[in-house]
Amino acid sequence: MPHSQAESAVERFGRGVLWQLQAGLCLSGVSRNGGRLARQLLGWIEHYNHQAPHSALGMQSPAECYAEWLVRNKTRPFQN
């Protein structure tokens, strides 16, 4: 992905998070405790990437879309 497209994707993601926070759709009861907040954010990221359907992905989660892409391209997932 070219740099400008990556920046656009990050900006869209940030706007989406902000919108959901403002709408009260995620992180209800957010803690001021740093560790608890980190766990809440990780839980939200897990939901966003593995459970929430995305209209731009044909109502699939990003994880489902990625899994299909791997099968179509006969590619193994990236591992550290």
The C-alpha atoms of residue 67 and residue 80 are separated, in whole angstroms, by 18
Name the residue range of residue 12's domain.
3-27+41-72
Residue 1: Cβ-neighbour burial (10 angstroms; 0-12, 13-18, 19+) = exposed
Helix (H) or strand (E) holding 70: helix 62-72
Do 53 and 60 meet the contact criterion of CB atoms below 8 Å apart? yes
Average pLDDT over residues 10-28: 67
Percent of the chain at pLDDT > 70 equals 70
Of how many residues is the chain composed? Answer: 80
Tell me the mean pLDDT in the region 41-68: 90
Residue 32 maps to a domain: no
**pLDDT-derived band at 68, boundaries 50, 70, 90:** very high
SS3 32: coil
Q: Which residue has the higher pLDDT, 24 or 17?
A: 17
Taking residues 16-43, what's their average pLDDT? 68
Give how many domains the chain has, as a whole number. 1
Q: Do the domain assignments include residue 15?
A: yes
